[in-house]
Amino acid sequence: MSAGLPQSILFCCDHNAVRSPMAEGIMKKLFGFDVYVQSVGVINDLEIDGFAIAACKEIDVELARHRSRSFDELEQSGEALAGFDVIVALSPASQRRALELTRYFHLTVEYWQIMDPTGLGETRDQKLNVYRQTRDQILAQIERNWSQK
């Protein structure tokens, strides 16, 4: 475990269907039980994206069982945002929502500019390549912030 590794991290994006589940899965693979990790979206209107599942499966990160949920559903299930050390927003909308919801809490909200791969590419191979780029951006950012030294 790295010295700067928080005890708990919440990743968030727009729908909790691509970027935040990827980040959650990658973080869990790299750090296991050293850190508590969850993910949410601003809204929950989509299921996990098949291309996200495929791109992460290539690096042995399992996302097929992920169930999307929103900030509101997280709170309704009994998990308070104040219980997280760091919230990492992966989209501008999720950053705004996280800052709005945590304005009275003492916790860190970070914004990582990660490409949204949805709607990019025309063929299956092109689409998968774009999702791989997003996955690799997330992996590189996690390693930059919390590499295991």
For residues 116 and 101, what is the distance between their CA atoms, to the nearest angstrom?
Answer: 23
pLDDT at 7: 93
Residue 130, number of CB atoms within 10 A of its CB: 19
Could you tell me if residue 123 is left (phi over 0), alpha (psi between -120 and 50 degrees) or otherwise beta? beta
Over range 13-26, report the average pLDDT: 95
Question: Per residue in 117-137, pLDDT tens?
Answer: 998 888 989 999 999 999 999
Question: Per residue in 24-73, pLDDT tens?
Answer: 999 999 999 899 999 999 988 878 999 999 999 999 999 999 999 999 99
Please, what are the domains in the chain? 8-146 (3.40.50.2300)
Query: 70: helix, coil or strand?
Result: strand
Question: Per residue in 86-122, pLDDT tens?
Answer: 999 999 999 999 999 888 887 889 999 999 999 888 8
pLDDT at 148: 57
Closest residue by Cα to residue 20 from 88, 75, 102, 77: 88
